Amino acid sequence: MKIEPKITPIYQTSVFKFDDLNELEQYFGEPGSRYLYSRNGNPNSDELAEAVNKLEGGAGAVATGSGMAAIFAAILACCQAGDHVLCAADIYGGSSSLLNTELSRLGITVTYVPFEQLYELTDFVQPNTKLLLAETISNPLLRVADLRRLATECHRHGLKLVVDNTFASPVITRPLELGADISLHSVTKYISGHSDVTAGVAVAADEQTAARLKQIGVLYGLTLSPMESWLAVRGLKTLRLRMREHSHNALAVAEFLAQHPKVRQVYYPGLLDHPQHMLAMEQGAGLFGGMMSILLEDDAEVVNEFMRRSQRFPFAPSLAGVDSSLSYPLGTSHRYLTPEQQQGLGITVGLVRLSVGIEPIVDLLADLEHALD
């Protein structure tokens, strides 16, 4: 009987069989010709890595058990004990915690660079600085980094540029084409897109770095399971459609909220008054994604009332699923910053982050109208 599945089945196996020693020799002699052990490689996780690699225009990628593992792999691919990294001050909370509390113990030090100074790194670079970590679109203020300028500035100082492209997705921005050396994702977010997977991926622009990423994945055991890989591949197939809908809905929500008397500020790159609107337009091919933040009155009771009244935006501290949700930066992602750091980043009591989904836009607008009433 001939079985030819249209899509890759789930290879839910930790190990693969060999008939004889010749096959074993073939495995080692012709890399990529067979599978041996799923931590080293599995058809499902390879399919995910290859699919994202293709979308990002990379030379190779590794799929990891989470976005955090992808960040860890990317930093380790470029650094060893004694090295120093630069990190954009507007960065995912997990990334700064990883650098501050774990990588520092391994002898890798960090300096944070304020958003305004990202394109002039001279004062921050040390002889042992190896890379800059930055996000295409930052959380929660949706600041957009000019990746071409950033890559030029990094390479002028001999640094690698590592971009966390989670908020943009490769549909909106492809960092490697703009000069970045590694582009990485929390696949948990837009790439899988349905809030049912925890995964990551790191993509390298050159083959040598890609090989390092894969080796780090294998030796640190950052591997992604077959089932999670399969779900992420399934989600990825609709990424382009979803990003269009997320962007379309978010722009309508942003325009609605920008004129609402209860909303003091809307942070969304698609709005004309966003400081990097033109850059976001060019770099994002006219799409701005589904993420935004809004500033309500700086009063916890006002925020509570908004959360309780909204039915379409449940509080769920993740993002980028097909169903809308909201998060609260001061109480979650940026909870452990000092009050000065929170103030400096504009993260105050009234700041709420929305992840706009792909529901009918009339439903979302009606819900927000009601929640703010």
Ligand X SMILES: *Cc1c(COP(=O)(O)O)cnc(C)c1O
Which residues make up the interface to ligand X (CB under 6 A)?
Answer: 66-68, 92, 94, 135, 139, 164, 166-167, 186, 188-189, 198, 200
Pairing of β 60-64 and β 200-204: antiparallel
| Residue with smaller CB distance to ligand X, 134 or 372 | 134
Residue at shortest CB range from ligand X: 67
Q: For residues 26 and 101, which CB has a smaller minimum distance to ligand X in the complex?
A: 101
Q: Tell me the C-alpha to C-alpha distance, in Å, between residue 310 and each of 210, 264, 303, 367.
A: 44, 18, 11, 6
* Shortest CB 115 distance to ligand X, Å: 15
> What is the dihedral sign for C-alpha 328, 97, 223, 190?
positive
Supply the minimum distance, in Å, between the C-beta of residue 194 and ligand X.
14
DSSP 54-123: HHHT-SEEEEESSHHHHHHHHHHHH--TT-EEEEESS--HHHHHIIIIIGGGGT-EEEEE-GGGTT--TT
Name the nearest CA neighbour of 166 among 95, 237, 266. 95
Residue 264: HSE in the Cβ half-sphere, 13 Å Cα cutoff: 13
What is the identity of the amino acid at 323?
D
Of 164, 174, 268, 367, which residue is the catalytic one? 164
**Do the strands 182-186 and 160-164 form a parallel or antiparallel pair, or are they unpaired?**
parallel
Residue closer to ligand X (CB basis): 354 or 371:
354
Of 189, 214, 242, 353, catalytic: 189
Burial class (CB in 10 A: 0-12, 13-18, 19+), 226: buried
Separation CA 160–CA 130 (nearest Å): 6
Nearest approach, Cβ of residue 22 and ligand X (Å): 41
Quick one: CA dihedral 12, 13, 18, 24, positive or negative? positive
CB of residue 136 vs ligand X: minimum separation in angstroms?
Answer: 9
Looking at beta carbons only, is 137 or 263 nearer to ligand X? 137
Give me the catalytic one of 11, 27, 92, 268: 92
Ranges assigned E (strand) in 136-174: 160-164
- Whether the CB-CB separation of 320 and 274 falls below 8 Å is answered with no
Selecting among 34, 39, 149, 244, the annotated active-site residue is 39
- Supply the DSSP symbol for 224: P
Query: 232 by DSSP, 3-state: which?
Result: helix
Question: Does 54 qualify as catalytic in the annotation?
Answer: no
Smaller CB separation from ligand X, 53 or 136? 136
Measured from the CB atom, is 129 or 188 closer to ligand X?
188
Instruction: Centre a 10 Å sphere on the Cβ of residue 107 and count the other Cβ atoms it contains.
Output: 12
CA 298 to chain centre: 28
164 is catalytic: yes
198 vs 283, which CB is nearer to ligand X? Answer: 198
Closest separation in Å from C-beta 69 to ligand X: 7
Q: How far is the CB of 13 from ligand X (least distance, A)?
A: 24
From the CB of 197, what's the least distance to ligand X, in Å?
A: 9
Active site residues per annotation: 39, 92, 164, 189
